Amino acid sequence: MLQFIILGAMKGQFISASGNIYDNFQMMGYMSAEDANQAVTTFFDQTPYPIQWADVDYLWAEELVDSPKAGHHGDYDKVYVEALRERWTSP
């Protein structure tokens, strides 16, 4: 099993003390999984604490290794919360 950090892009933006506007990303937790998508799905399905999912746009996972494959900061493999929810409502 690989170890991942789960990150989330929050709806809304962060305004710094100096007035600069940034996208708001949060560290959501850690997960062991076979790959990044499985880590996100498992985290969503077994969230260890309450999260207001309406505040989260998408999630992604970064493997906890020193590798060129890590550190893409959500540029790849975005898993949208709505897509995770639809798994339970699709026939």
Q: What's the domain count of the chain? A: 1
Q: What is the pTM of this model?
A: 0.80
As a residue count, the chain comes to 91
Quote the CA–CA distance of 73 and 17 in Å, as a whole number.
23
Backbone phi and psi for residue 46, each to the nearest 5 degrees, phi listed first: -130, 45
CB atoms within 10 A of CB 78: 13
Q: What is the model's pLDDT at position 5?
A: 93
Q: What is the pLDDT of residue 77?
A: 78
- How high is the mean pLDDT in each 10-residue block of the chain (91 residues)? 93 94 94 93 93 93 82 70 79 61
Question: What residue type is assigned to position 6 of the chain?
Answer: I
Largest CA distance in the chain: 49
Residue 62's domain comprises 2-89
